[in-house]
A and B are shown apart, each in its own frame.
Chain A
């Protein structure tokens, strides 16, 4: 049976030939232009190897561990001046001194309130029971029942593991820093969103703040603020500020132009626009920024133990020094729980009573990254997770009444905890049945026993792995980079930057090379570069395998993601303890620790990219009969290229920021110099210079990677 043709033409119609597309705009025809990058790189490598063989070990600018140059001496002198004469200077003694004293006083006030004895009382003003009651009540008011249970459980766990006081200290430093970050960061972010000039000036500053490894400003900050809570707070604020500023700017900027236009057509002033349109619409994004800030603050407040910041970090640091995996793990567990508690509570609070709104719609690296970090913690604890929506909600008035009603017992418990000793200090549970198994010492002992057993079982293999990777990869690469004359390395890096990304990254590279040259730690920088490269490659190998598994399968995702989440909130130097136990001190150990830090973020980005490949494409490819391997290698990985590049970039920066910490476990080179600069008087200047070199190295690698990514983006 024939069907009619509604429109006339049949096969004889003008439906053939390229001219048939004339109803649509004719796209231009792409002409291939060969780049021959591969050949250029090969030539570069060949020249490099030849010159390396000729000049090996000469002009390498190597500097002994204890040796310093004149720049380092000058920095030392500057330091001495600040230390000895700074007190009388209006800026160091006056401004910074006043800030430091104020911060110290605020911290002390809160510490005496909930964590340390408020002299002459033998205990804090409010005991553990009161703190639990008040925090639970607040959480219920701002977040909801689930969060309240989470908070209560977490707080009790701090007590049971005998970490109450340290946990409260960490909480105080973190929360105070966050509040200050919001007070400073929000206005700056708004300003940047509304002024191109401001954004142009401040963005590079934020870039540097985020590339500079936090360890490197430990020493100068300790110099300006003295060691203690004030220094810890400043450190934490510097580290946690950029996310608030950036995400605030991003949130306001990504308010849809249509909305802005519509609002303008109504005649809103700039002020009205900000108050009534931009801020409300960006609110949810800004909350995400605050959430990020909180997480960053928590991790930095832990590291601040190195400048005598109070909190759980102290326990971790001393556990590291005594190689006590158990104690380190218990405090790490407390930190992770605190992170989950803060993350879930802020998220739940932001979701409460608010419809869904989009977290920005613009694309690009920033948003991808935001999306990924948003996912950093398990969603199970969210209010509304699962089938929460079906339950009838308590009405607003009912809630208000309930809250008021619950306020009474909260106050009573606070008063009781001021009076009764065993409600003020957490009772010792090491003799209590059941609970004793999770009491701090017991838990630590159990973990230690397990670690000992594990290490004695596998250390022959781990040492074998370490020795072989060191011999076959680390040593040759390190020799190639650090035994080449400095001018050869400088030229090679320049050429690499030019071939991969054009003249802009080459210019950045040149500038960074000049900086590194003058820091006087050229050779150490090259050693660090070789370790960074190896760690990044290994990170990406692991991240691609895990990320592909997660991106392709929901089950794999469900299993792997919680581990990644946990790894992301554990303070970096906790990894060092088990890494040391398994591999002994050395560069490989530092690389393993760096991987532990960078694999989670890289994996998540890869998984995101794989999942982001349009289902239509995946289906279309399946319909052509691709095998699984073909699907991954020909479609999913190439299409996720942008994510892979971003993952590599982030992985690299994360690795670099662990370089310093790796210095504590035999990583050597720049990391070791930074650490020793922090602990030996005459190496202060050199440590500072090494910190600058790390930052310069980071900027250089980041720029090369970015431009190369843009060029080979497809």
Chain B
């Protein structure tokens, strides 16, 4: 809606009450769940901004954790999740069994989860990137929180993780310590590189922060199909994720023009990192950041709307 422009003029409200946009089709509410990492926020606000500007939707962004978002789609309080990382258990429960949620296609982003060290460490200890050498360096990673073992820093409690089982099954002399959030992880990497202090942490791509600091992936035993079937016995690296979108069945059946937009939405890791950087590093408002990218990439946006 053009409220932002109109506000400057202080014009009469009756001038602007018609739902703006070119589509003309009535869109209504669109409730996009927002999960706690910046890459997700980029997806959500780019889709949201397009839906608002082009389709005239009334977009809201409930901040929820992943699992809660699924639950929200099931009970009708959320319409869509726009970056989903696997969750086979939830897929079974909500898509296969209950049928309250539908897959809405890939986002085009390839997801990687893994363990990373700051660049200075990879340089100084070149063999650290192989998990078999991790025990050799465990002492380096000791902190007050890790109880005499090496520390492996994890993210938000809601993130997909096998780390504890991995440490146990790979017989690593490490202790998983929960850092709390994406921002906490980034801050830790930043100060580790700056002060040349050791750090081993859970992290993921796509991730804008790699442009600032080229973190180095630590290779775990190679992933093979099904090696992570039993969460308690998992002893292999995380699978490559093809990130996808989800919509609630109810919303899919509502006939909203936003359904097609969400299904059509796809972009690259670079695209997402760019928007994420606008938000996280440049401190832009997510809507402004999304709008900036939309303005710079009209072709891609048009493709989603066709």
- Is B36 a contact of A228 with CB atoms below 8 Å? no
- Is A466 a contact of B93 with CB atoms below 8 Å? no
- Is B144 a contact of A470 with CB atoms below 8 Å? yes
What is the interface residue range for chain A against chain B? Answer: 35 or more
- Is A308 a contact of B13 with CB atoms below 8 Å? no
- Is B177 a contact of A679 with CB atoms below 8 Å? no
- Is A421 a contact of B7 with CB atoms below 8 Å? yes
- Is B98 a contact of A226 with CB atoms below 8 Å? no
Is B22's CB within 8 Å of the partner chain A?
Answer: no
Do A323 and B68 form a contact, CB below 8 Å, given A421-B12, A672-B178, A676-B158?
A: no
Do A227 and B64 form a contact, CB below 8 Å, given A83-B74, A122-B1, A586-B177?
A: yes
Interface centre among B18, B64, B90 (most CB of A within 10 A): B64
Name the prevailing secondary structure of the B interface residues.
Answer: mixed
- Is B87 a contact of A681 with CB atoms below 8 Å? yes
* CB closest chain-B residue, reference A121: B17
Size of interface on B: residues with Cβ below 8 Å to A:
68
Is A502's CB within 8 Å of the partner chain B?
Answer: no
Q: In the assembled complex, how far is the CB of residue B62 from the closest CB belonging to chain A, in whole angstroms? A: 4
Interface residues of B in 142-193 (CB under 8 A from A): 143-145, 147, 153, 156-158, 162, 164-165, 168, 176-184, 187-188
Is A2's CB within 8 Å of the partner chain B?
Answer: no
Q: How far is the CA of A308 from the CA of B62 in the complex (A)?
A: 6
Is B302's CB within 8 Å of the partner chain A?
Answer: no
- Is B13 a contact of A424 with CB atoms below 8 Å? yes
Name the A residues within 8 Å of B67 (CB-CB): 678-681
Name the B residues within 8 Å of A308 (CB-CB): 62-64, 68, 72, 77-78
Interface residues of A in 281-321 (CB under 8 A from B): 305, 307-308, 314, 317-318, 320-321
Q: How far is the CA of A399 from the CA of B226 in the complex (A)?
A: 78
Q: How far is the CA of A83 from the CA of B188 in the complex (A)?
A: 38
Interface residues of A in 664-678 (CB under 8 A from B): 664-666, 668, 672, 675-676, 678
Q: In the assembled complex, how far is the CB of residue B217 from the closest CB belonging to chain A, in whole angstroms? A: 22
- Is A227 a contact of B98 with CB atoms below 8 Å? no
Is B214's CB within 8 Å of the partner chain A?
Answer: no
Is B89's CB within 8 Å of the partner chain A?
Answer: yes
Is B76's CB within 8 Å of the partner chain A?
Answer: yes
Q: How far is the CA of A321 from the CA of B184 in the complex (A)?
A: 8
Q: In the assembled complex, how far is the CB of residue B265 from the closest CB belonging to chain A, in whole angstroms? A: 22
- Is A323 a contact of B164 with CB atoms below 8 Å? no
Residue in contact with A321 in the complex, picked from B10, B93, B181, CB distance below 8 Å:
B181
Residue in contact with A585 in the complex, picked from B18, B147, B184, CB distance below 8 Å:
B184
Is B280's CB within 8 Å of the partner chain A?
Answer: yes
Residue in contact with B65 in the complex, picked from A84, A580, A679, CB distance below 8 Å:
A679
Residue in contact with A680 in the complex, picked from B147, B157, B183, B187, CB distance below 8 Å:
B157
- Is A418 a contact of B13 with CB atoms below 8 Å? yes
- Is A122 a contact of B16 with CB atoms below 8 Å? yes
Is A64's CB within 8 Å of the partner chain B?
Answer: yes
Name the B residues within 8 Å of A678 (CB-CB): 65, 67-68, 158
Q: In the assembled complex, how far is the CB of residue A66 from the closest CB belonging to chain B, in whole angstroms? A: 6
Q: How far is the CA of A184 from the CA of B38 in the complex (A)?
A: 42
Name the A residues within 8 Å of B256 (CB-CB): none
- Is A322 a contact of B72 with CB atoms below 8 Å? no
Residue in contact with B71 in the complex, picked from A222, A418, A420, CB distance below 8 Å:
A222
Q: How far is the CA of A420 from the CA of B7 in the complex (A)?
A: 9
Interface residues of B in 34-49 (CB under 8 A from A): 34, 36-38
- Is B164 a contact of A586 with CB atoms below 8 Å? no
Interface residues of B in 11-43 (CB under 8 A from A): 11-14, 16-19, 28, 34, 36-38
- Is A585 a contact of B62 with CB atoms below 8 Å? no
Name the A residues within 8 Å of B162 (CB-CB): 66
Interface residues of A in 84-128 (CB under 8 A from B): 84, 117, 119-123
Name the B residues within 8 Å of A80 (CB-CB): 93
Name the A residues within 8 Å of B12 (CB-CB): 419-421
Chain A 237-263 interface 0/1 with B at a Cβ cutoff of 8 Å (1 = within): 000000000000000000000000000
Is A571's CB within 8 Å of the partner chain B?
Answer: no
Name the A residues within 8 Å of B70 (CB-CB): 681
- Is A120 a contact of B36 with CB atoms below 8 Å? no
Do A675 and B72 form a contact, CB below 8 Å, given A227-B62, A227-B77?
A: no
Interface residues of A in 637-665 (CB under 8 A from B): 663-665
Is A370's CB within 8 Å of the partner chain B?
Answer: no
Name the B residues within 8 Å of A427 (CB-CB): 7
- Is B13 a contact of A471 with CB atoms below 8 Å? no
Q: How far is the CA of A409 from the CA of B16 in the complex (A)?
A: 26
Q: Which 5 residue pairs are nearest across A and B when measured between Cβ atoms?
A: A679-B158, A226-B75, A422-B10, A679-B65, A323-B183
* A residues at B contact (CB < 8 Å): 64-67, 80, 83-84, 117, 119-123, 222-223, 226-228, 305, 307-308, 314, 317-318, 320-324, 418-425, 427-428, 445, 466-467, 470-471, 475, 580, 584-588, 663-666, 668, 672, 675-676, 678-682
* Given A580-B184, A678-B67: 17 more A-B contacts, CB < 8 Å: A64-B165, A80-B93, A119-B28, A227-B77, A308-B62, A308-B64, A308-B72, A320-B181, A321-B36, A323-B183, A422-B7, A427-B7, A586-B145, A663-B157, A676-B157, A679-B65, A679-B156
Task: List 24 A-B residue pairs with CB atoms under 8 Å apart, sorted by A's residue number.
Answer: A65-B176, A83-B74, A222-B71, A226-B72, A226-B75, A227-B75, A308-B62, A321-B156, A321-B183, A323-B183, A421-B3, A421-B9, A422-B7, A423-B10, A427-B7, A475-B147, A584-B188, A585-B178, A663-B178, A668-B178, A679-B65, A679-B158, A680-B67, A681-B87
